[in-house]
A = this chain, B = another copy of it.
Amino acid sequence: MIRGLYIGRFQPYHNGHQHILEEIARRVDEIIIGIGSAQLSHEPSNPFTAGERLLMITRALGTIGNPVYVIPIEDLHRNALWVAHVRSMAPRFDIVFSSNPLVVRLFGEEGIAVESPSMYERASHSGTEIRRRIIAGEEWESLVPPAVADVIREIDGVARIRQIARDDGDGRCL
C-alpha cells in the first residue's frame, strides 16, 4: 500500500490542482492533501480559511476514488522542523508530490522520495491569476471545479477578496 502526500495553499483549489491529483491518484493507493499556511485567511494572497479550503477540496474530489485525507498544516516559521511537523500531523506517507523547490529540498534532506508532477496550464491555473480575475471582475469560474465555485459563492468569497484587496496598508495579518 503506497500513500502519497500533496501539499499546497489552495487559495483557492483550482483545475491545476485537480489535474495533478488525478495523476497522483493513478500512482498511489491513498492520498494525503496538506493545506499549507492553514492559520492564514482574509489576506489578499490568502483569502480563505483552512476550513473553507478543506470544504472546496472535499467537494471537488468526487471523481477520485482513492481514500483521501485532507489535513490543515499551520506554518511553523522554522524550515528545519517543517518535515517533522508535517509528519506529526499526517498518517505515514511514502512519497511526496511537489514542484516547490523548498519543499523538494526539505523532504529530500530527510531522505523522503519526492516527485515533481507535470504542470497543467500553469499560467492561468494559478491562485494568483484567479484572485486577480476576481478582483478585476473578469471571468474566473472556468478555472476551478464547479464545486469550488459553489463554495466560494456560499461563503461570500468574491466580496471578501475584493474588500480586502482595497487595503491601503501592507495587507498584513493583524
Contact = CB atoms under 8 A, between A and B. Distances in A.
A83 interface: yes
A82 B43 CA distance: 13
A112 interface: no
Contacts of A76: 81, 173-174
Nearest to A79: B42
A89 B78 CA distance: 11
Given A70-B69, A74-B74, A173-B75, A49 B105 contact: no
A50 interface: yes
Interface stretch (A13-21, A135-143, A161-169): A161-169
Copies of this chain per assembly = 6
Contact of A75 (B36, B41, B168, B174): B174
A106 interface: yes
A76 B81 CA distance: 11
A90 B35 CA distance: 12
Q: Which of the four size classes fits the interface of chain A? A: 35 or more
List of 8 A-B pairs having minimum Cβ-Cβ separation, nearest first: A80-B88, A42-B79, A84-B84, A101-B166, A55-B91, A51-B90, A82-B174, A49-B88
A104 to B, nearest CB: 7
A155 to B, nearest CB: 8
A102 interface: yes
